[in-house]
Chains A and B, each alone.
Chain A
């Protein structure tokens, strides 16, 4: 749909191109300014880090990454992020479904509060979880008597990531569900499809690109998350040290050299997710056209 709009605009502006030039005479100036800003603030820092990392040679990066603490932190980061998107994809889709299809008291209040995790500073998120599940709290001491540790352990990281990424899937799926015509589902029901078949054949295919988009955004946020994780899980090597915390530790101990390799790995991860997101969106648009 967005593709058609852009195309239409391209056609309509084509005829008025000469006039448009007069409206935005400083066209080239705007273009140069934007490219310059992005170049200075985004491209140059990334290039600088990459050049510095490669300056010591690939062997150097490899030996930095091969340290057990470094390997562990990367593994932990990606594993917990995967666990988080599995849970958030299901719960986020369900939340979107309930918000769109069901009426209940205070629905619009709940709908507004979904964005809350985006508004709460990450340090505050960490503090909240420590307050609720920490050793000084009622819940925390109840759980630790039964041998379940949340704060300064891996479950704390999972909770923090679930919190900060909660809105992504909900907000990606919600508009798609809202636009979905109930006629399709009703037609399927008239043709004798059971509810399970309807959900599997009609609902799931329509929302899959949106769920994947939300999940990819959540994943990208999760592998970079720092503030909430360092407060909730601390900085315990080989136990709770995720990649961003490892990088922070290396910088803190005046060893920026050791942070370079992992930083590049995280940057490559982010780039890969951006490319995947782009592919998902294209795939979703093609599905739109077919439907």
Chain B
């Protein structure tokens, strides 16, 4: 049974009810698509929609294993930013302990809940990127090496793209900050990021399973 965490404030439901979900969901889904892609590059399959659903469930206080996040509308007025923050935190490779999320969606195509037994097994799917066997560790390391090589290759291929990659390697994750660091126009940064997305689409990692 889904249950509220005792640390959750159910009065937040009213704020969530008022939110413009049609405007919020595309941004959150896009973010989840690329976070899921990060797992794919390591050799794992994670459904982006599962990440979005778990973020929503946490915002409603009923995340997997009692995980919840209290939305403070004062400090974070944008629900999209709040949900993206939840996804970032639960998929961060820097926070292994946080990585407790389902790798597959727990709702059917029509939005109805999947069988309780499936839900249970899904809730056991934790640490999607954490290698469980030596073979998986090898595959993951090979994928990281291949991704590194690909980023190096792209940096050599295009100087501008190389500047953007350098910023990313320095931990700069906001397009505005990349524009400031490189001196490029914001539009140019966005176009380079799009180019990077397309180039990386050709990167084919080995899958663990």
Real binding pair = no
